[in-house]
């Protein structure tokens, strides 16, 4: 079935107004344009699905992603704590092609020719596009840790980061299970910005939840490169001093310089060395490697600056960058929820651009980050971000966000619903 241009323009207009059009898996004609999406995580999978849904199948979408399934970082700290399994946070990509008609290609994008508008892959394939979406997440800066440079694969076996959910998450859980009662678990946190500001502190709580029950003589050291807890500080510190009293010790200003992999010892700029039984080093991060290959890294040699009306790179014409890879606006966390919102703004803008129209001039984005303190008690931080046409950026709307007053079970139920809904939104039918 062919979609007429007039119908597509109607669809693009509706998308910009945030109206959701019914998807139709039978319409794969792609007559209104071709979009290639690199990365099937929170940003990329959502963009792929919404481009198909909002164009009613008129825009052809190819999603390039090496992983067999979508594995969620949100809730993955519960796998480390032991109340969930990795299967609980893993979902297939089937619905993206079956229901939405996205061509899902299992491969790794290795090059982008912006002038010719072609993406090449490690598997030797080429994909032409009218618009390209890059949502590759983060790449770990192993080069910043001397002992990691020669053999990062070995380093992350000894001191897992578990900052990309999957085998690393399972490995860290196994190391924790093998740790003797009375052992030391240490988490090393990089200087912000990094993926998921509250994530390391939530992880601390999940490890504490496990150790409190299984190995109560143990100790958790939180070795933070930042001068203070970077998110929900009061709520996390309260949990450590009450719920996990005596188990957690927080040490700020711990800028990592190296790791002695032979003894699992972390070394710091100004603080004493710390030897741990389980050492969870979260390395500093930058935009995923394909962003460098595409030439769209423009900020601090790490992140991609975008026009927040369309998420189009300020350097790469026709290239839209989403999620953790971007240079964030004020008060905007690197989160799955934000990546999901970036994807919708970008998808609507792309449909309008393909139809020769300007993007919506007043996008509005929302974010909620839930953190599990126990297996069911949760705290949240929420924010709303509105485009400021004078400053040409997204700014937090004063008074529109907020924090939980205290951890509670009701928010635990909300958090599980949030996860289910956002997973459905990205890769569900
Ligand atoms: C422990 C932890 C807990 C978290 N908890 C929360 C939470 O509760 N709420 C929340 O909102 N956020 C949370 N986050 C943050 C969230 O996971 C990220 O912000 C989100 O995944 C970013 O989405 P993205 O699309 O930028 O990257 P990702 O979701 O990482 O997706 C990137 C995808 O790109 C693929 N890729 C990379 N390079 C290429 C290439 N060259 N070719 C093809 N594919 C490629 C990767 O395989 C990957 O699938 C958490 C993160 C962690 C680590």
Supply 238's token pair: 């309260």
369 lines ligand 1 (CB under 6 A): yes
In the chain, % helix, strand, coil (3-state, to 5) comes to 30, 25, 40
pLDDT for 30: 78
Q: Residue 210 has which token pair?
A: 């496990």
What digits encode the pLDDT tens for the residues 228-283?
999 999 999 999 999 999 999 999 999 999 999 999 999 999 999 999 999 999 99
Ligand 1 center to residue 400 CA distance, Å?
26
- The yes-or-no verdict on residue 24 having pLDDT over 60 is no
pLDDT attached to residue 224? 98
Q: Residue 429 has what pLDDT?
A: 74
Query: If you search the block for the tokens 């139709």, which residue do you land on?
Result: 24
Atom 11, ligand 1: residue with shortest CA distance = 336
- The answer to whether residues 269 and 284 touch, using CB atoms and an 8 Å cutoff, is no
Burial 123-153 (b: 16+ CB within 10 A, else e): eeeebebbbbbbbbbbbbebebbebbeeeee
Probe ligand 1: pick from 303, 336, 383, max atoms within 8 Å of CB?
336
**For 289, how many CA atoms within 13 A lie in the half-sphere containing its CB?**
9
Are the beta carbons of 108 and 123 closer than 8 angstroms?
A: yes
Look-up of token digits 């200003």? 253
pLDDT at residue 10 in the model: 54
Task: Specify the pLDDT at position 28.
Answer: 53
What are the pLDDT digits (tens) for 147-191? 999 899 999 999 999 999 999 999 999 999 999 999 999 999 999
pLDDT confidence of residue 25: 42
Whole-number mean pLDDT of the chain? 94
Work out the average pLDDT over 364-389: 98
pLDDT reading at 18 higher than 80:
no
* pLDDT of amino acid 102: 97
**44 touches ligand 1 (CB under 6 Å):** yes
Question: How many percent of the chain have pLDDT more than 70?
Answer: 93
Tens digit of each residue's pLDDT (9 = 90 or more) over 326-351: 999 999 999 999 999 999 999 999 99
Q: Which of 283, 275, 263 is nearest to 152 (CA)?
A: 283
Q: Which atom of ligand 1 is nearest to the CA of 422?
A: 11
Question: How many other C-beta atoms can be found within 10 angstroms of the C-beta atom of residue 6?
Answer: 8
Distance from C-alpha of 236 to C-alpha of 242, rounded to nearest angstrom: 10
337 lines ligand 1 (CB under 6 A): yes
Q: Using most ligand atoms within 8 A of CB, pick from 290, 324, 379, 411 the residue to mutate for ligand 1.
A: 324
Closest CA to 62 of 151, 136, 126: 126
Ligand 1 binding pocket includes 9 (Cβ within 6 Å): no
User: Alpha carbon 132 to chain centroid distance?
Assistant: 19
If you measure from the C-alpha of residue 45 to the centroid of ligand 1, how many angstroms do you get, rounded to a whole number?
A: 11
pTM for this predicted structure:
0.94
The predicted model gives 289-316 an average pLDDT of 98
pLDDT at position 370, please?
Answer: 98
Looking at the CA of residue 335, tell me the nearest atom of ligand 1. Answer: 19
Confidence of residue 393 (pLDDT cuts 50, 70, 90): very high
CB 418 less than 6 A from any atom of ligand 1 = no
147 Cβ closer than 6 Å to some ligand 1 atom = no
Whether ligand 1 lies within 6 angstroms of the CB of 155 is answered as no
pLDDT of residue 335: 98
Q: What is the DSSP letter of 142?
A: G
Beta strands of 342-422 (E only): which ranges? 364-372, 378-388, 393-396, 402-403
Atom 30 of ligand 1 has which residue's CA nearest to it?
137
């Amino acid at each position: 079935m062919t979609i007429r241009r007039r119908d597509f323009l109607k669809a693009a207009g509706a998308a910009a107004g945030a109206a959701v059009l019914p998807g139709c898996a039978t319409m794969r004609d792609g007559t209104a344009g071709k979009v290639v999406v690199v990365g099937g995580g929170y940003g990329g999978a959502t963009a792929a699905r919404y481009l198909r849904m909002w164009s009613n199948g008129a825009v052809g979408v190819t999603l390039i992603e090496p992983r067999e399934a979508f594995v969620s970082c949100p809730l993955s700290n519960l796998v480390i704590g032991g109340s969930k399994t990795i299967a609980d946070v893993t979902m297939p990509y089937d619905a993206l092609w079956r229901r939405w008609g996205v061509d899902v290609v299992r491969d790794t994008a290795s090059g982008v020719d912006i002038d010719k508008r072609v993406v090449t892959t490690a598997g030797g394939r080429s994909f032409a596009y009218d618009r390209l979406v890059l949502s590759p997440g983060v790449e770990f800066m192993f080069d910043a840790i001397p002992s990691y440079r020669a053999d990062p694969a070995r380093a992350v076996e000894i001191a897992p980061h578990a900052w990309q959910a999957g085998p690393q998450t399972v490995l860290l859980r196994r190391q924790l299970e093998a740790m003797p009662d009375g052992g030391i678990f240490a988490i090393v946190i990089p200087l912000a910005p990094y993926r998921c500001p509250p994530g390391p502190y939530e992880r601390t709580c999940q490890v504490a939840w496990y150790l409190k029950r299984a190995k109560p003589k143990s100790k958790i050291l939180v070795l933070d490169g930042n001068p203070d807890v970077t998110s929900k500080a009061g709520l996390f510190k309260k949990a450590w001093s009450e719920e996990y009293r005596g188990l957690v010790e927080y040490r700020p200003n711990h800028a990592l310089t190296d790791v002695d992999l032979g003894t699992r010892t972390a070394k710091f700029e100004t603080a004493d060395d710390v030897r741990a039984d389980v050492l969870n080093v979260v390395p500093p991060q930058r935009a995923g490697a394909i962003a460098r290959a595409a030439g769209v890294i423009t900020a601090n040699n790490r992140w991609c600056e975008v026009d927040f009306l369309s998420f189009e790179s300020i350097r790469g014409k026709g290239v839209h960058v989403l999620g953790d890879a971007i240079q964030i606006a004020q008060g905007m966390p690197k989160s799955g929820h934000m990546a999901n919102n970036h994807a919708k703004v970008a998808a609507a803008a792309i449909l309008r651009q393909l139809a020769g129209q300007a993007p919506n001039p007043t996008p509005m984005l929302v974010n909620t980050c839930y953190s599990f303190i126990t297996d069911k008690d949760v705290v949240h931080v929420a924010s709303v971000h509105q485009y400021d046409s004078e400053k040409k950026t997204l700014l937090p709307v004063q008074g529109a966000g907020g924090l939980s007053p205290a951890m509670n079970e009701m928010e635990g139920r909300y958090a599980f619903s949030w996860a289910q809904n956002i997973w459905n939104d990205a890769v569900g039918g």
